[in-house]
């Protein structure tokens, strides 16, 4: 008997195949990277080559789900649209009931709960997307400012907080290792942006037009970096790599 | 018993409302702000029981925020916002009506024009140059009929509003000492003056 058709059926060795296939759909999606700095979160996404006749402005991979929370996803774009719309309604509903903004954690929990629901109902399939949710926590215990937070959800319906994370793309595993090697706590905004672009350059062809970088600052304010700015940093990184190659014999020695 | 009125001028709308929150013979508070901000460039002056007032305005405001968020920051025109609000009033009419009378004013950046809509509790709506809700209409509409003309400046519009407030304070049986006056123009929704600070708790 095939254990991978109906979502609600376990296989004998405890797998939910539909969920695993959904994870595979995420891997086929374009890469999204999130890096948490000392006072910002950077979201960097791969922009796959568009058809010549397509208007690039209509492809949005980094979206606001609330005034104070920003989301990037990897996987099936149509599924993402549905899940994002549900989350937006939930955020406004929370604001209407509680007269306050929902925390990033609340929204991540909501997305995860929704994704899990679709793994336990008959006749539906899971959402084929993983999301990265970025924002700031509320200041507590006499703090002046909130702290940056980065959450990830996946098709299985789990959510967790990360210092830096990669979703989507065939090389997610090696990118995660790259981030583990080069991540430092409390990075400045500049360093966090540089790290995200460095990581993204491992999978995309060089050039600002293949990536979209978004910086989320205090208060959840979203700011998409201009192409020229991104280009400058890309050139900086590439020249550093060149110098690294010239001065040492070991290959690909990125600075820091 | 609430008084809400609005006057359109060239480049904006002035909305004014009294600040009393009262029921029967008791005044609960006298610093209520009955002009709720809907979006960055629109606001709704509402009269009616406090429960419906708050419920209706918050509901409309949050739905407008959802629209903006879901449509990549696209702002709804005042025309669309007014029709949406009217639609919600109409739908609720034969289920659980909101007993609110609304004056919705807004400024459209794309056309650089301001507009004012009056919607009563039965969801009847018209676009107007000036309007009054409540008993105030008996006193103030005649002043506005006489003084309003095309191409008013902001100061002229405020002068009409102040004239109306003075008339009410002299001739209206119910004492309304505090009024809050707001202006909606290309700078957004801003308070011009208030009788009592709504933020005082």
pLDDT tens for B108-143 read 999 999 999 999 999 999 999 999 999 999 999 999
Query: Cα B114–B115–B121 angle (5° rounding)?
Result: 150
Lowest mean pLDDT among A119-128, A174-183, B59-68, B96-105: A119-128
DSSP count for chain A of H helices, then E strands: 6, 10
Tens digit of each residue's pLDDT (9 = 90 or more) over B142-151: 999 999 999 9
Chain A touched by B74 (CB under 8 Å): no
Chain A touched by B71 (CB under 8 Å): no
Longest dimension (CA), chain B: 49
Q: Which of A60, A85, A96 is closest, CB to CB, to B62?
A: A96
* C-alpha to C-alpha distance for B165 and B169, rounded to whole angstroms: 6
Q: How far is B40 from chain A (nearest CA, A)?
A: 13
With beta carbons less than 8 A apart as the criterion, state whether A32 and A168 touch: yes
Inter-chain touch B66–A88, beta carbons under 8 Å? yes
Look at residue A3 in the predicted model and tell me its pLDDT.
59
Reading the block at residue B123, the tokens are: 């969801």
Q: Measuring CA to CA, how many Å separate A114 from each of A83, A106, B126, B144?
A: 8, 12, 42, 54
* C-alpha to C-alpha distance for A38 and A16, rounded to whole angstroms: 38
Q: Where are the beta strands (DSSP E) in A137-209?
A: 148-153, 159-161, 164-167
Task: Please report, in angstroms and rounded to a whole number, the separation of the first and last CA atoms in chain B.
Answer: 23
More confident residue, B164 or A142: B164
* C-alpha to C-alpha distance for A192 and A186, rounded to whole angstroms: 9
Consecutive H or E run containing B44: strand B42-47
> How crowded is residue A200: how many other Cβ atoms within 10 Å of its Cβ?
25
Chain A touched by B66 (CB under 8 Å): yes
Chain A touched by B63 (CB under 8 Å): yes
Q: Which of B58, B66, B72 is closest, CB to CB, to A89?
A: B66
> Which residues 19-48 of A have a C-beta within 8 angstroms of B?
none
Look at residue B84 in the predicted model and tell me its pLDDT.
95
Contacts A66 to B, Cβ<8 Å: 69
Name which of B56, B70, B88 to mutate to probe chain A: the one with the most chain A Cβ atoms within 10 A of its Cβ: B70
Chain A touched by B70 (CB under 8 Å): yes
Q: Per-residue pLDDT for A253 more than 80?
A: no
Percent of chain B, pLDDT > 90?
A: 91
State mean pLDDT over A116-130: 89
Look at residue A62 in the predicted model and tell me its pLDDT.
93
Q: Which single residue is written with the structure tokens 């034969």?
A: B94
Q: How far is A81 from chain B (nearest CA, A)?
A: 10
Contacts A92 to B, Cβ<8 Å: 62-63, 65-66, 69
Residues 6+ apart with CB under 8 A from A155: A19, A22, A23, A25, A26, A75, A115, A119, A126, A127, A128, A129, A130
What strands lie across the sheet with A129-136, from one edge to the other?
A: A62-66, A69-75, A129-136, A148-153, A159-161
For all residues of chain A together, what is the average pLDDT? 88
Tens digit of each residue's pLDDT (9 = 90 or more) over A224-234: 888 888 889 98
Which residue does chain A place closest to B57, by CA atoms? A96
Chain B touched by A95 (CB under 8 Å): yes
Q: Measuring CA to CA, how many Å separate A196 from each of A45, A199, A234?
A: 9, 5, 11
With beta carbons less than 8 A apart as the criterion, state whether B176 and B169 touch: yes
Chain A touched by B193 (CB under 8 Å): no
Q: Where are the beta strands (DSSP E) in A191-238?
A: 211-217, 221-224
Q: Per-residue pLDDT for B181 more than 80?
A: yes
Lowest mean pLDDT among A53-57, A62-66, A194-198, B142-146: A53-57
* C-alpha to C-alpha distance for B33 and A50, rounded to whole angstroms: 51
Q: Which single residue is written with the structure tokens 């025109």?
A: B77
Q: Measuring CA to CA, how many Å separate B128 from each of A48, B1, B79?
A: 51, 22, 12
Q: Which single residue is written with the structure tokens 């002035």?
A: B14
Q: Which of A60, A65, A92 is closest, CB to CB, to B65?
A: A92
Contacts A95 to B, Cβ<8 Å: 62, 65
DSSP class of residue A62? E
Alpha helical stretches, state H, B114-190? 136-147, 154-171
DSSP class of residue A122? T
> How crowded is residue A173: how many other Cβ atoms within 10 Å of its Cβ?
11
Contacts B69 to A, Cβ<8 Å: 64-67, 88, 91-92
Q: Which one, of B201, B199, B195, lies nearest residue B20 by Cα?
A: B195
Q: What is the pTM for the complete model shown? A: 0.82
Tens digit of each residue's pLDDT (9 = 90 or more) over A161-216: 999 999 999 999 999 999 999 999 999 999 999 999 999 998 887 777 788 999 99
Look at residue A216 in the predicted model and tell me its pLDDT.
94
Q: Which one, of A171, A83, A177, lies nearest residue A131 by Cα?
A: A83
State mean pLDDT over A129-142: 90
């Amino acid at each position: 008997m095939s254990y991978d058709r109906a979502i609600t059926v376990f296989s004998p060795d405890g797998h939910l195949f539909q969920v695993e296939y959904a994870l595979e759909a995420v891997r086929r999606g374009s890469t999204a990277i999130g890096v948490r700095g000392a006072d910002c979160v950077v979201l960097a996404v791969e922009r796959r080559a568009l058809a010549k006749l397509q208007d690039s402005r209509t492809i949005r991979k980094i979206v606001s789900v609330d005034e104070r929370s920003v989301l990037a996803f990897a996987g099936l774009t149509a599924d993402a649209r549905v899940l994002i719309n549900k989350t937006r309604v939930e955020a406004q509903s929370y604001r209407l009931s509680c007269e306050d903004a929902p925390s990033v954690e609340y929204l991540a929990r909501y997305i995860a709960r929704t994704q899990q629901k679709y793994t336990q109902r008959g006749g539906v399939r899971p959402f084929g997307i993983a999301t990265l949710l970025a924002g700031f926590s509320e200041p507590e215990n006499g703090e002046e400012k909130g702290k940056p937070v980065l959450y990830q959800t996946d098709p299985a319906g789990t959510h967790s907080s990360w210092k830096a994370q990669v979703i989507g793309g065939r090389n997610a595993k090696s990118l995660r290792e790259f981030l583990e090697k080069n991540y430092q706590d409390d990075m400045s905004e500049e360093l966090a942006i540089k790290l995200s672009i460095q990581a993204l350059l491992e999978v995309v062809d060089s050039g600002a037009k293949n990536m979209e970088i978004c910086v989320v600052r205090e208060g959840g304010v979203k700011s998409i970096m201009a192409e020229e700015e991104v280009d400058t940093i890309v050139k900086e990184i590439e020249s550093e790599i060149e110098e690294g190659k010239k001065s040492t014999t070991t290959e690909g020695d990125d600075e820091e | 018993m609430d008084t809400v009125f609005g006057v359109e001028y060239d480049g904006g709308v002035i909305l004014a409302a009294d600040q009393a929150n009262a029921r029967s013979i008791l005044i609960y508070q006298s610093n209520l702000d009955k002009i709720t901000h809907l979006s960055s460039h629109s606001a709704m002056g509402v009269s009616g029981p406090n429960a419906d007032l708050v419920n209706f305005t918050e509901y409309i405001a949050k739905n407008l925020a959802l629209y903006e968020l879901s449509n990549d920051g696209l702002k709804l025109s005042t025309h669309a916002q007014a029709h949406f609000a009217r639609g919600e009033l109409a739908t609720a009419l034969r289920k659980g009506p909101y007993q609110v009378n609304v004056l919705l004013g807004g400024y459209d950046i794309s056309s650089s024009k301001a507009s004012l809509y009056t919607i009563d509790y039965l969801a009847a709506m018209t676009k107007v140059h000036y309007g009054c809700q409540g008993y105030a209409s008996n006193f103030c509409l005649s002043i506005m009929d006489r003084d309003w003309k095309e191409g008013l400046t902001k100061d002229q519009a405020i002068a009409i509003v102040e004239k109306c407030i003075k008339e009410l304070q002299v001739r209206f049986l119910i004492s309304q000492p505090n009024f809050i006056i707001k202006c909606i123009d290309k700078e957004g929704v801003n308070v011009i003056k208030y009788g009592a600070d709504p933020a005082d708790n």
